Chain A
Amino acid sequence: MTEKTKNQQTDENKIIDGYINHVLETGHEPASVFKFAKDLKMKEAAFYEYFTSFDAVKKAVWELNFDKTIHALEGQEVYKTYTSREKLLGFLFTWIEELKNRRSYLLAVYGNGSLKDRSFPTELKGFKSKFKDFANSIVNEGKETEEIAERPYLTDKYQEAMWLQVLFVFRFWLKDDSPKFEKTDAAIEKSVNLAFDLMGKSAVDSFVDFAKFLFQSK
């Protein structure tokens, strides 16, 4: 890493941390980029080098968490040997661990039910597209190992379903009041198992196959 990129990184992180601290201490967004930059003892222009608005900072928090999660996952020796099911499980467990470091901030921003309506906050977009790439690789791998059954039309929707699951886990975790968030652990475990059981080959596939056969050989 060159000196310059290192500097960039620290400035970027400084802004993110500064923003989070401000939200935590005051309970709302900074009044303006000007004031915010002044508090951080940097020029307003320096802020725009990395972000265009506060929403962009919020967006970066999500993406940062995602990157850290993937980094931590790939650091685990055993990750490579995981099945698709275990990879998704591993992702969610690690992701929630990462989120724990920022729980107060996330509660302050999303705890009031802003995730309730179907249209999720726009700042999740970057995270969503990154996650979908990840989900896509899981699905493809699952199809190869036949862990996930190939079904016309439906298979393309699986990554979307996994994304909904991520949102479900996040909401569940926000409201979780069990010690060490162990209920969230259970929720992850159970929901992923259910999802993969549904995606795997099941009686329904055999039924459709059989029905098709009957129809065709009439």
Chain B
Amino acid sequence: MTVKLNEQQSIPVSKVQRAAKFISTGAKVGGNYMKHYTKKVVNPSLTKDELHKNNATDIYDSLSELKGSALKVAQMMAMDKNLLPRAYQDKFSMAQYSAPPLSYPLVVKTFNQYFKKGPESLFDTFTTSAVNAASIGQVHKATKGDKEFAVKIQYPGVGSSVISDLRLLKPFALRLLNMNERELDNYMDEVEEKLLEETDYELEVIRSKEISEACNHIEGLNFPKYYEEMSNARVITMDWMKGKHLKEWLETNPTQEARNKVGQTLWDFYDHQVHSLKQVHADPHPGNFIIQEENELAVIDFGCVKVIPEDFYSGYFSLIKKDLLIKEEELDQIFYDLEFISDRDSPTEKSYFKNTFQEMISLLGKPFHEETFDFADDDYFQMISALADKISNDKTFRKSKQARGSRHGLYINRTYFGLYNLLNQLHSNIKTTKPEWLKS
């Protein structure tokens, strides 16, 4: 862990207190805006960078105190680099590594409750403080014989606070993401479902096993072994994966060759999941990967898995083809299916949205259009950023009372954004493989 966070000062207990926490942050953010605009009167050249930084700090402080699902959302926002200004991103990426720890007596209690034994009697050694935080739980390192284990323990009551947290978060998201309320509601359900899934540790073990078996053949990719007999609803025991987190690894100045290798492994992993398994590890943030010796990649967290429905899959990816040779009606049908346009739109709206989405998708699909793609290319990411800006400031979009885009797209977009982002940080040059049917 690079940043040692302060021990928690206080954790708000009841729903009312949690709400109060959000309100006070809301007020702070409001205050930051006021400060910004008054300063701007005096000094018109002031940019919004400082404002964003202040906001990010205040929001992060309050989110990390609330822990659980709110922290999860912070992580999610951190991932959509292009959706949020850079200052937010930097502050939030801290959330991906560490949250204030929970006490050891509670860990002992959890063990006693599920195993009828304390951690000391199950393992030879067990760290009394968490070695890492995992947003809805924390990780302890344990040993038994000559084996090392990572033991993930879930915070109590996370599942039940997910729903109320999301409701509290809504006004925030509305303001931060410039979304209208209906649009948000459409996605909130999807987020809620996924977050609740993430609190289900038993499901996580099953999925981890499934995916790690199905991806076993990919070269340079490692998975920890999961121990079902030492896992349950609140505890997951798996192999301890030695290696470095992405940021630490990048600090060692790896060669371009190494960067390409790690990046390519990552790409192959996602390629296989999306196109063959049709279910995908939808949480590609840096904290979930470890880079091991020989530049091999280990995947350590399967909390968030998105199953891709067949009809969504074919629609979504047929748009990525370089030259859309599909007929106009077929294209319309895909747009309908993906809920980009609907019968309630006027013809001008229809053509406007169709064009915008096509532009967006062809930009996001650009890496697929060539044999290899250099993700170090910051210009490409600036283009995505600019397009996202354009969309979020666009009047037609903001006026539109409709939600656009299928809810399934939420996590698929997030996955690809996350993947591109990781590859960008890695500066990898990737052979962008794709399934046969996508090659045109």
Where the two chains meet, the residues of A that have a C-beta atom closer than 8 Å to any C-beta of B are 76-78, 81-82, 85-86, 89-90, 93-94, 97, 178, 180, 182-183, 185-194, 197
Contacts and interface: CB of A to CB of B under 8 A. Distances in A.
Contacts of A193: 8, 10-11, 103
A13 B267 CA distance: 67
Main secondary structure of the interface of B (DSSP, over half): loop
Given A190-B10, A193-B8, 11 more contacts: A76-B108, A81-B128, A85-B103, A86-B104, A180-B113, A182-B160, A186-B156, A190-B12, A190-B13, A194-B10, A197-B9
Contacts of B112: 97
Contacts of A183: 156-157, 160
Contacts of A188: 106
A177 B104 CA distance: 24
Contacts of A76: 108, 118
Given A77-B120, A189-B11, A90 B108 contact: yes
Contacts of B106: 89, 93, 185, 188-189
Contacts of A78: 104, 108, 118, 120, 128
Contacts, number: 68
26 contacts: A76-B108, A78-B108, A78-B128, A81-B128, A82-B105, A86-B103, A86-B105, A89-B103, A89-B106, A93-B105, A93-B108, A93-B109, A97-B112, A97-B113, A182-B160, A183-B156, A185-B106, A185-B156, A185-B157, A187-B13, A189-B11, A189-B156, A193-B8, A193-B10, A194-B11, A197-B10
B102 interface: yes
Contacts of B102: 189
Contacts of A90: 105, 108
A86 B106 CA distance: 9
Nearest to B103: A89
- Contact residue range for chain B? 20 to 34
Contacts of B104: 78, 82, 86
Query: Which 8 pairs of residues, A with B, have the shortest CB-CB distance?
Result: A90-B105, A185-B156, A182-B156, A89-B105, A93-B109, A190-B11, A186-B157, A182-B157
B124 to A, nearest CB: 13
A78 B108 CA distance: 10
A78 to B, nearest CB: 6
A135 to B, nearest CB: 16
Contact of A189 (B103, B120, B128): B103
A186 B13 CA distance: 8
Interface string B119-145: 010000000100000000000000000
A191 B157 CA distance: 15
A166 to B, nearest CB: 15
A90 B155 CA distance: 16
